[in-house]
């Protein structure tokens, strides 16, 4: 009897030892591959455009730009854009100004590159760097570019250009001195950008200075917002104004996403990102406009550090000739008594024409604030606390923020979009997140099953040892 009992115990022992040593089934083996992160969706299938300074374009690119603008006019596209802008007059002088114009400029860029595909993006007039010399000798107003800045119909490359009412496009510049006495220096504007803390503050200041100031300075069609897009100057000017907003966005993640303002109606404190953008509600949301790099698919090349030589061709308004052998292309303005002169008030009648939605008092308040920044910088320089040459210009501020050029790339969840490809990206991202959550849940279950399997193996070994001892006693 003992022999049979021992035999049975030994057989059971073999079965238990087999169970303890067998591997866990493949169905319960953990896998890391299932939880792998999905690749980021592509929302710019044609690449990201690069908007460059007008003065940095090659000769071929300049010709492509001028010919492209003429083609837009011949096809009626420039007139359509002008009418679209006219329909948004109510948004001038409001926090929606920058959102509206970023959308408008994006529409213009799309159309321009259809007829001038060799361009990398819509060029901009690097305006504030030009304040080192007379505006009449700015590179932008070369004969073969925008044409000379003189009173009357456009001359040069765009001579004979007409607006959407078939009137000749004109300019009527203010009486010009040797410097831009109505405009802030690049250092003053850089200081303003560094110190404003909300979108609303930034928009209120920059819409007046330098945006409106340049419109008034050029005058003519540019001095009347209902027809200003008929002058090609409008577009290179507004691309630059958008650059200033993009630069402010790049200074911090808070700035990048910020649309807060104290000038909104109905008790709002911020423009909702999910809302459709004014002027283009059928195409974009405000979030699309804010995330310009990942959704509108453009970025900016570095502004110029110094003004380029005008290299003026023969035109109707020749610049003062430098002394023979001097080697200078641009006569320098007289040296100022302070590094950063304050701006002079613009004539009230021109202010009323360019900004019918803004009171003259509100305009003067912005001019006052810009001058306060200039005076503060001058005090710092004169007290010896800082060297004027060490204060960054807009171009240098831009360069220092290059490390933030990818801002918005990593935190765009692709939600609240009116763009088809972005909506597809949002669906892909949501599906990937769902798969990741499922994979994590599976991994947890697998881990639990494996743990139970290990526990069972350990207890089986204990029972087997006990049975060995009992078999030895029976025998």
- Give phi and psi for 204, each to the nearest 5: -65, -45
Residues 6 or more apart whose CB falls under 8 angstroms from that of 298 comprise 48, 49, 50, 51, 106, 109, 121, 122, 292
Contact call for residues 29 and 446 (beta carbons, < 8 A): yes
In 60-210, DSSP assigns E strands to 152-153, 170-171
Mean pLDDT over residues 78-85, rounded? 98
Q: What's the pLDDT tens digit per position in 83-121?
A: 999 999 999 999 999 999 999 999 999 999 999 999 999
pLDDT value of position 310: 45
Residue at 295 is within a domain: yes
pLDDT value of position 267: 81
Q: Is it the case that residue 10 has pLDDT exceeding 90?
A: no
DSSP 232-272: THHHHHHHHHHHHHHHHHHT-HHHHH--B-SS-STT-SB--
Q: What is the DSSP letter of 27?
A: G
DSSP 63-80: HHHHHHHHHHHHTTHHHH
In 42-165, DSSP assigns E strands to 49-51, 152-153
Contact call for residues 172 and 325 (beta carbons, < 8 A): no
- Give the predicted TM-score (pTM) of the model: 0.79
Angle of the 199-206 helix axis to the 233-250 helix axis, nearest 10:
150
For residues 237 and 85, give the distance between their C-alpha atoms in angstroms, rounded to a whole number. Answer: 15
Residue at 37 is within a domain: no
Residue 166 gets the label, from left (phi > 0), alpha (psi -120 to 50) or beta, of left
Higher pLDDT, 353 or 326: 353
Residue at 472 is within a domain: no
Q: Is it the case that residue 301 has pLDDT exceeding 70?
A: yes
Higher pLDDT, 336 or 95: 95
Residue at 411 is within a domain: no
Q: Is it the case that residue 8 has pLDDT exceeding 50?
A: no
Q: What's the pLDDT tens digit per position in 343-381?
A: 888 888 888 888 888 889 999 999 999 999 999 999 999
Mean pLDDT over residues 299-324, rounded? 55
Q: Is it the case that residue 449 has pLDDT exceeding 70?
A: no
Residue at 267 is within a domain: yes
Domain count of the fold of the chain: 1
Q: In DSSP terms, which residues pair with 285 in a beta bridge?
A: 276
* In 251-347, alpha helices (H): 253-257, 286-290
- H/E element holding 109? helix 97-115
Of 350, 384, 31, 313, which is closest to residue 144 (Cα–Cα)? Answer: 313
Highest mean pLDDT among 175-179, 267-271, 405-409: 267-271
Higher pLDDT, 7 or 128: 128
Radius of gyration of the chain (CA): 34
**Residues 63, 216, 108, CA angle at the centre, nearest 5°?**
40
State the residue range of the domain holding 181: 49-300
Q: Is it the case that residue 64 has pLDDT exceeding 50?
A: yes
Class of residue 324 by CB neighbours under 10 A (exposed 0-12, middle 13-18, buried 19+): exposed
Residue at 152 is within a domain: yes
Q: What's the pLDDT tens digit per position in 315-324?
A: 344 434 434 4
Residues 6 or more apart whose CB falls under 8 angstroms from that of 222 comprise 171, 214, 215, 228, 231, 233, 234, 237
Q: In DSSP terms, which residues pair with 298 in a beta bridge?
A: 49
pLDDT value of position 456: 52
Distance, CA of 14 to chain centre: 72
Query: How many other CB atoms are there within 10 angstroms of residue 270's CB atom?
Result: 16
pLDDT value of position 305: 66
Of 420, 439, 462, which is closest to residue 288 (Cα–Cα)? Answer: 420
Structure confidence at residue 50 as a pLDDT band (50, 70, 90): very high
Number of helical (H) and strand (E) elements in the chain, helices listed first: 14, 4
Q: Is it the case that residue 29 has pLDDT exceeding 50?
A: no
Q: What's the pLDDT tens digit per position in 197-254?
A: 999 999 999 999 999 989 988 999 999 999 999 999 999 999 999 999 999 999 998 9
Contact call for residues 152 and 221 (beta carbons, < 8 A): no
For residues 149 and 170, give the distance between their C-alpha atoms in angstroms, rounded to a whole number. Answer: 10
ω into 108 cis (within 30 of 0) = no
**Structure tokens that stand for 452 in this block:** 């139970």
Percent of the chain with pLDDT over 70: 72
CATH code where residue 212 lies: 1.10.1280.10
Residue at 284 is within a domain: yes
SS3 assignment, position 185: coil
- H/E element holding 373? helix 360-382
* In 119-231, alpha helices (H): 186-195, 199-206, 213-218
Q: Look at the block and give the residue holding tokens 């970025």.
A: 299
Residue at 40 is within a domain: no
């Amino acid at each position: 009897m003992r022999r049979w009992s021992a035999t049975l115990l030994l057989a059971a022992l073999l079965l238990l030892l087999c169970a303890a040593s067998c591997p866990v089934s493949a169905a319960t083996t953990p896998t890391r591959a299932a939880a792998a992160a999905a690749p980021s969706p592509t929302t710019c299938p044609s690449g990201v455009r690069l908007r460059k300074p007008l003065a940095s374009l090659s000769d071929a690119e300049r010709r492509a730009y001028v010919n492209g603008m003429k083609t837009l006019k011949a096809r009626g596209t420039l007139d359509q854009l002008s009418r679209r802008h006219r329909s948004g007059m109510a948004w001038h002088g409001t926090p929606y100004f920058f959102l509206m114009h970023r959308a408008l400029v994006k529409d213009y860029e799309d159309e321009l590159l259809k007829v001038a595909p060799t361009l990398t993006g819509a060029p901009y007039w690097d305006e504030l760097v030009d304040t080192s010399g007379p505006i009449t000798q700015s590179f932008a107003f070369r004969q073969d570019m925008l044409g000379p800045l003189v009173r009357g119909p456009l001359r040069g490359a765009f001579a004979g250009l007409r607006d959407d009412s078939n009137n000749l496009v004109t300019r009527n510049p203010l009486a010009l001195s040797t410097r831009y006495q109505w405009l802030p220096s690049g250092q003053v504007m850089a200081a303003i950008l560094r110190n404003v803390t909300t979108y609303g503050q930034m928009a209120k200041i920059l819409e007046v200075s330098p945006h409106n100031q340049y419109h008034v300075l050029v005058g003519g069609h540019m001095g009347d917002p209902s027809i200003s897009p008929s002058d090609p100057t409008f577009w290179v000017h507004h691309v630059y104004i958008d650059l200033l907003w993009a630069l402010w966005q790049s200074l911090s993640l808070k700035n990048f996403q910020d649309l807060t303002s104290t000038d909104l109606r109905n008790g709002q404190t911020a423009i909702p990102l999910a809302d459709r953008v004014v002027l283009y509600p059928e195409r974009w949301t405000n979030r699309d406009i804010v995330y310009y790099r990942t959704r509108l698919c453009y970025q900016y090349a570095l502004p110029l550090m110094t003004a380029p030589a005008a290299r003026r061709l023969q035109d109707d308004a020749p610049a003062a000739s430098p002394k023979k052998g001097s080697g200078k292309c641009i006569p320098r303005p007289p040296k100022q008594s302070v590094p950063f002169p304050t701006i002079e008030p613009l004539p009230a009648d021109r202010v009323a024409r360019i900004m019918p939605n803004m009171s003259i008092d509100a305009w003067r308040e912005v001019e006052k604030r810009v001058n306060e920044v200039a005076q503060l910088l001058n005090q710092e320089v004169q007290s010896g606390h800082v060297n004027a040459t060490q204060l960054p210009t807009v171009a240098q501020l831009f360069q220092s923020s290059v490390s933030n050029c990818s801002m918005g790339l990593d935190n765009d969840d692709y939600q609240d979009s009116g763009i088809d490809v972005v909506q597809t990206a949002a669906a892909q991202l949501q599906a990937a997140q769902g798969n990741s959550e499922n994979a994590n849940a599976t991994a947890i279950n697998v881990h639990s099953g494996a743990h139970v399997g290990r526990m069972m193996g350990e207890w089986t070994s204990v029972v087997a040892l006990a049975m060995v001892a009992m078999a030895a006693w029976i025998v």
